[in-house]
A and B are shown apart, each in its own frame.
Chain A
Amino acid sequence: MAELNTDAGGGKKKGSGKVRSKKGNNKVDLTAMVDLAFLLITFFMLTTSLSKPQSMNLGMPDKQKKDQPEKDIEVADDRTMTILLGENNKVKWYMGQFTSPLEGPEDSSYGKAGIRQPILEKVKSVPAKYGDPKKGLIVIIKLDKKTNYKNMVDILDEMAIAKVPTYAIVDLTKEEKALLDNND
């Protein structure tokens, strides 16, 4: 592939005449230089495209004006999944209403083996149950005050991975906070 033999001495190779070694001598070996150049090119190519920070879009619902009456949106129990996030990476989830959950409340954790499994399962099972792909899962994410920002991004990321059609971030109620704090 490359010209390796740049030694001036033809003495290394037995049998080759001195005349031939002098002929090949006027070429400089560029292999190492090209190698280095391509290494640097690769480095700069990768860093320029990766250094641009990634971002995640988050759309929040319109804020309700304080003097306006609260609008309740009725949603089927078996379509809503509530995920509670607390301090020290605590995660709990349940289906349906808090007072009469259809499933759970169940402890979970972040990541592939944790909360992602029930979410993925529900994302598939809910539209199947209704026989209508538009009636997908609704996830309500409730964050405690002690929850850190990393966990918030983690759970939003899970939403993106599982392609949950509808999700919202809401504050925790007192009862739910008690549930998070009590049994650990």
Chain B
Amino acid sequence: MAVKTQKKAGAIDMTAMCDVAFLLLTFFILTATAKQPEPLTVETPNSTVQTKLPETDLATLTVGDGKVFFGVLGRDVRERTLEMMGIKYGIAFSPEERQRFALMDGFGVPIANLKQIIAMTGSERNQQGLQPGIPKDSLNNELKEWIYNARMANIELHQQELKFAIKGDAKLEYPNIKKVMDILQDQEVNSFNLVTGLRGENF
């Protein structure tokens, strides 16, 4: 008899545990955000600093391969920015185009070609090398205007100063980054986040 009771004690009812486990699993799967495809993929350098990027009121400048791509968080800000840029450059964007633009995460074309990019589907748009980058030289500094108008739009809609993140490729030469930082500093944006990966201290 003694042997039989010991065997019985080995069995645990795991139904409840299984239920909890799957509940949590479902929760994490649903909250996990799928990685968005990017029109310009860059390999960010690593650092030990563990500050997270802000989740709202943020503009990301992706710099790689001599090109600059621009993206803002928040659909309302994107829409308003496009509207303001349209006024500035005398291009009228239809409400439909504005809505489509509001769904785009980032882009890198001169404003003259923006309509074509807006008309494309997501996968067409994100082909590598399709978008030539936003012009940023002194004669045609559209990047400056995008940054300025996005800041204005953000202040108007959210009453907050827009924060900037620079996502640069590790192999990029310093003047490329400096150029972007200079454009930001010209507008007295002196503090920005550099997007990095994570590594330990022993490298």
A interface residues, Cβ below 8 angstroms from B: 1-3, 20, 24, 27, 30-31, 33-34, 37-38, 40-41, 44-45, 47-48, 50-63, 110-112, 143-150, 152-154, 156-157, 160-161
Known contacts A1-B12, A54-B197, then 12 further A-B pairs from the complex at CB < 8 Å, ordered by chain A residue: A41-B28, A56-B196, A58-B192, A58-B194, A60-B191, A63-B190, A112-B201, A143-B174, A149-B168, A153-B45, A153-B46, A157-B49
Complex A-B, nearest 6 residue pairs according to Cβ-Cβ distance, in ascending order = A44-B28, A37-B21, A150-B170, A55-B193, A3-B11, A30-B14
- Interface assignment of B165: CB less than 8 Å from any CB of chain A: yes
Sampled A-B contacts (24; CB under 8 Å): A3-B12, A30-B18, A37-B24, A37-B25, A40-B29, A41-B21, A41-B24, A48-B33, A54-B49, A54-B52, A54-B195, A54-B198, A55-B49, A55-B52, A57-B191, A60-B181, A60-B185, A112-B203, A147-B173, A148-B174, A149-B45, A149-B174, A150-B45, A154-B47
A-side contacts of B51, CB under 8 Å: 54-57
Residues of A within 8 A of B158 (CB): none
| B58 vs chain A, min Cβ distance (A) | 10
Smallest Cβ distance from A68 to chain B, in angstroms?
14
Question: Which residue of chain A has its CB nearest to the CB of B175?
Answer: A145
For B175, list chain A residues within 8 Å (CB).
Answer: 145
CA distance A144 to B173 in the complex (A): 9
Question: Of A31, A143, A154, which one neighbours B14 at CB under 8 angstroms?
Answer: A31
Do residues A62 and B188 form an inter-chain contact, with CB atoms below 8 A? Answer: yes
- Contact partners of B192 in chain A: CB under 8 A: 57-58
Decide: A30 near B15, CB < 8 A? Known: A3-B10, A149-B168.
yes
Q: In the complex, what's the smallest C-beta–C-beta distance from A55 to chain B, in angstroms?
A: 4
User: Among the listed B21, B172, B193, which residue makes an inter-chain contact with A56, where contact means beta carbons less than 8 Å apart?
Assistant: B193
Q: Does B89 contact A (CB under 8 A)?
A: no
> B48 and A157: CB pair below 8 A?
yes
Task: Tell me the complex Cα distance, A17–B15, Å.
Answer: 27
Q: Chain A contacts of B25 at CB under 8 A? A: 37, 40-41, 44
Bound-state Cα–Cα, A161 to B167, Å: 21
Question: Which B residues lie within 8 Å of A34 (CB)?
Answer: 14, 17-18, 21
Question: Separation in Å of the A53 CB from the closest CB of chain B?
Answer: 5
CB distance from A66 to the nearest CB of B (A): 11
Nearest CB in chain A: distance from B178 CB, A: 8
Q: Would you call B203 and A153 a contact (CB within 8 A)?
A: no
Q: Are A27's CB and B11's CB within 8 A?
A: yes
A3-B11, A31-B14, A148-B172 given as contacts; is B52 within 8 A of A52 (CB)? yes
Whether B53 contacts A55 by the Cβ 8 Å rule is: yes
Q: How far is the CA of A55 from the CA of B18 in the complex (A)?
A: 38
Chain B residue with Cβ nearest A116: B201
Tell me if B50 is interfacial: C-beta within 8 Å of chain A. yes
Residue of A24, A40, A56, A61 with highest tally of chain B CB at under 10 A: A56
Docked CA distance A1–B13 (Å): 10
Among B22, B31, B177, point to the contact of A152 (Cβ < 8 A). B177
B14 A2 Cβ-Cβ under 8 A? yes
